[in-house]
Amino acid sequence: MPLSAASTSFSQGAPVPDDAFLRQCIHCGFCLASCPTYALTAREISSPRGRIRMMKNVAEGTTAIDEIFMHEMFFCLDCRACETACPPGVPYGALIEAARAQVENFRASQPRGRSRLKDFILGKIFTEPARLRRIAQLLRFYQKSGLEKIAMRLRLPRLFGKKMLALAPLAPRIEAKFTFDRLPERIQPHDGKIRHRVALLVGCVQDVAFAAVNEDTAMVLAENGCEVIVPRQQVCCGSLHGHTGASHHARELAKKNIAIFEALKVEAIIANAAGCGSFMKTYGHLFAAEPEWHERAAKFAATVKDLNEYLIEIGFKKPPQTLAQRVTYHDACHLAHGQKVTRQPREIIRAIAGKNYIELEEASWCCGSAGIYNLTHFETAMQLLERKMKNVLASGAKILVTANPGCAIQLQHGCRQAGAEIEVVHPATLLRRAYEANSMQ
Ligand code: SF4
Ligand code: SF4
């Protein structure tokens, strides 16, 4: 099981990097070559080893939390490539997320240290699915009514800050129908024989911008003998909060989801977004300081499966090879490094594409999306996207598969900028199409 992406240590109620995890680092430097921020800067403090050293210094009180520390904890992508490369297995994801929570707590203690906008977005929008959907509807109206085109032509986003014009194209495209308008609460297997009972996490961004992927996921599961339950009361998994240091919101959301999903008594809770799956698999560690929740959370976490992982586990129904175009695959960091799921999506794509599947160079190198990193660190994110796109274009693929909404948005942006006609799709979409093509023959 992948190691924690959440802190297991608390100081006066606030998460801090776990001392035992910090001491696991032997400073060997094996992680350096896999670190995108080290590759860009060649600075030790922007490497995993350097950041761990800084966390240790702060923990031991030899340095205070200062601007450099705060900058580095958020300049890190939390891509966790260093975790995959690390011989003694330092759980870097757990460390960085605890360090971010530590930074946020420190900021909150300073006069005007807190970002009100971030607090509002994380605490008032992403914790309330109904409010998020209403805002998404407004955004869709803006995108579809022609207002967006006019605003972009007049360069109006600049009024909200210099960077807004560049950031505007990274806004997710909102779908006309969200998940609950596409799927009933209970979906029966297509052949009528229930072999598995699973529940589907619909997500937050996934629900409003990739609802079609949720629908594809449910249809693929139903084709594989699953009864799929889509609980209406579920909330965001909290990964966005946990990854950005707002661990108190993450715990609130996790508690709601645990109560809702455990009552369903399903064999698996399916996540089709890498960041969500990765985070929910660490719910147990999130409640290390709350014994009354810890066991329930750990049980919940053990039930979470990434869609690709689950399909391979149950021996998914192989469609005939129907894909005539060249296809490649980009590993989402939180699927490859966070969940160690790399073989399964490739197996599914190969089953559909056969020889048309081509392995992408540096497939598991971060694309720069990294949650909200492309919004908070736009220039660095674009440098990473440029590197990724060079490899994508060199592959000659016409279809680029990835299993995370953030990566999909970033890669779609990269393809548009490169003027490349490459479709970015989720594995569930590809598989559903293959099943449907087969049934039409
Ligand atoms: S590879 Fe692991 S042990 Fe070695 S320096 Fe990096 S984090 Fe530390
Ligand atoms: S999480 Fe990614 S960016 Fe951060 S230190 Fe590890 S490899 Fe580097």
Whole-number Å distance, alpha carbon 388 to ligand 2 midpoint, is 16
189 lines ligand 2 (CB under 6 A): no
Counted domains in the chain: 3
- Pull the structure tokens for residue 436: 């449907």
Alpha helices by DSSP H, listed for 110-210, are 116-120, 129-144, 147-153, 164-167, 179-182, 205-209
Whole-number Å distance, alpha carbon 334 to ligand 2 midpoint, is 12
Site to substitute for ligand 1 among 49, 76, 79, most atoms within 8 A of C-beta: 49
Query: Of all atoms in ligand 1, which is nearest to the CA of residue 85?
Result: 1
48 lines ligand 2 (CB under 6 A): yes
Alpha carbon 358 to its chain's center: 24
The percent of residues in the chain predicted with pLDDT above 90, rounded, is: 77
CATH of the domain at 408: 3.40.50
- How many CB atoms neighbour CB 13 within 10 A? 8
Whole-number Å distance, alpha carbon 237 to ligand 1 midpoint, is 29
**403, 353: one domain:** yes
Task: List pLDDT tens digits, range 366-413.
Answer: 999 988 898 889 999 999 999 999 999 999 999 999 999 999 999 999
The percent of residues in the chain predicted with pLDDT above 70, rounded, is: 96
pLDDT surpasses 90 at 302: yes
Question: Of 109, 138, 160, which residue sits at a domain end?
Answer: 109
Residue 437: pLDDT band with limits 50, 70, 90: confident
- How many CB atoms neighbour CB 376 within 10 A? 15
The answer to whether residue 221 is domain-embedded is: yes
The answer to whether residue 319 is domain-embedded is: no
Whole-number Å distance, alpha carbon 282 to ligand 1 midpoint, is 21
**307, 183: one domain:** yes
54 lines ligand 2 (CB under 6 A): no
**13, 69: one domain:** yes
Provide the residue count of the chain: 441
Whole-number Å distance, alpha carbon 261 to ligand 1 midpoint, is 37
Q: How far apart are CA 181 and CA 268, in angstroms?
A: 23
Helix, strand or coil, per DSSP, at residue 426: coil
Q: Kindly identify the ligand whose nearest atom is closest to the C-alpha of 30.
A: 1
34 lines ligand 2 (CB under 6 A): yes
Q: Name the E strands within 287-338.
A: 304-306, 327-329
Whole-number Å distance, alpha carbon 431 to ligand 2 midpoint, is 32
Task: List pLDDT tens digits, range 148-186.
Answer: 899 888 888 887 777 888 888 888 899 999 999 999 999
Q: Residue 389 is part of which domain span?
A: 327-440
Sequence-separated (6 or more) residues with CB below 8 Å from residue 225: 189, 191, 193, 194, 195, 196, 314
| pTM (2 d.p.) | 0.92
Q: How far apart are CA 374 and CA 166, in angstroms?
A: 11
Beta strand 196-200 pairing with 186-187: unpaired
The answer to whether residue 105 is domain-embedded is: yes
